[in-house]
Amino acid sequence: MTSQTFPKCSFGEKCAEFAVSFSSFCWEHSNPKEFLASLSAELKNRHVEKPLVLNLKKVVCENLDFSKINFSGSILSQAHFSDCHFVGTHLSNSNMIGARFDGCDLVGSDLRNAHLTRAIFNHCLLSHSDLRGAYLVEAHFNETDFMASLLSGTVLWNADFRGVKNLRKKNFENPDAKGLAALSEKHGLVAFESYRTIKHYFYDQGFYEDASWAAYRGLTMERKHFFETRDPRYFPSLLMDILSGYTEKPHRVILSSLTVVLLFGVLYFLLNVPQASANLNSYSRISFLDSIYFSFITFTTVGFGDLVPRPGALFQLLTCAEAFSGPFMAGLYIFTLTRRYAAH
């Protein structure tokens, strides 16, 4: 946010607003025609390299060319721009809360860390723009083009993306972080809601791979929120992630199933649980491989009967626990696979 302070509006005690740039009054107390004429003249004479912090709060203008000017840290909140050009304009860290852009060209603009809460973009071009770290809570993007724009680290809670063009997971990849795709993950609950917003958009568009990424990242963020608030739902959430990647990663079900079989196999071997049913009366040490085999047939609930558990409550409990987990994992696998691929 800008550290620059602007002179007060000259209207008098009753007005608490700051004067807009190139005027001694705020927008409401200035003559729009005169102001726009001086703004337009200033923009034409502007040396593009020199940074310029402007106050354009609530300004309503059309057909102005702000291209390539460095406006970083400016105030454009509640301003209304129609058919204006912001090609390659630097607007990073600007306060653009509630600003409205109709038919504006913002190609290649720098909007990093801009505050765009409740901003409205109508029929705009945001292609090749840099929106990394921008705050887009409840922002509206209607018929806006995001071709090759950068959106990693953004906050998108309740943003409205209906009708946008060229918005994919790729837009959220950060070239500075090995191309890892992510929204802002500083606050667990906000990140969860942001991922949910973009997930719904991807699902509606039929981009299921991208939606799956958003769904997984979102639930990971919800778990982070559970952890921060000491919510006991953290544990089932963690378990679902390990077992199936929140039903988004079928290979995790296979891996965790094999881990269960291996762990029970080791436990059976150490406790010498399986016994050959042929000679039950003479307890003998069973091989490690046989223990794994016994674990496998217990997990899959095949139960050939060639090996049986040694009598004893603990051993019965162990085999029952493993036999119970088998069908559960099989069900989870089928569910995960169906959810992941049936929709495609």
Q: How far is the CB of 8 from Zn ion (least distance, A)?
A: 8
Give the nearer residue to Zn ion in terms of CB position, either 29 or 80: 29
Cβ-based neighbours of 94, under 8 Å, separated by 6 or more: 2, 71, 72, 73, 74, 75, 76, 111, 114, 115
Q: How far is the CB of 73 from Zn ion (least distance, A)?
A: 22
Q: How far is the CB of 27 from Zn ion (least distance, A)?
A: 8
Give the nearer residue to Zn ion in terms of CB position, either 11 or 207: 11
Q: How far is the CB of 17 from Zn ion (least distance, A)?
A: 5
Cβ-based neighbours of 225, under 8 Å, separated by 6 or more: 188, 189, 192, 231
The answer to whether 248 touches 214, Cβ cutoff 8 Å, is: no
Q: What tokens does 198 get?
A: 């973009």
| Cβ atoms within 10 Å, residue 113 | 20
Q: What is the DSSP letter of 56?
A: -
List interacting residues with Zn ion (CB under 5 A): 9, 11, 15, 17, 26, 29
Q: How far is the CB of 13 from Zn ion (least distance, A)?
A: 11
Q: How far is 112 from 248, CA to CA, in rounded Å?
A: 31
Q: How far is 93 from 114, CA to CA, in rounded Å?
A: 4
In this structure, the chain runs to a length of 344
Q: How far is the CB of 38 from Zn ion (least distance, A)?
A: 17
Give the nearer residue to Zn ion in terms of CB position, either 15 or 182: 15
Give the nearer residue to Zn ion in terms of CB position, either 58 or 224: 58
Q: How far is the CB of 5 from Zn ion (least distance, A)?
A: 16
Give the nearer residue to Zn ion in terms of CB position, either 29 or 169: 29
Residue matched to tokens 């794994």? 292
Give the nearer residue to Zn ion in terms of CB position, either 26 or 114: 26
Give the nearer residue to Zn ion in terms of CB position, either 59 or 137: 59
321-328 contacts: CB < 8 A, separation 24 or more?
Answer: 322/260, 322/264, 322/295, 322/298, 323/298, 323/299, 325/260, 325/299, 326/298, 326/299, 326/300, 326/301, 327/301
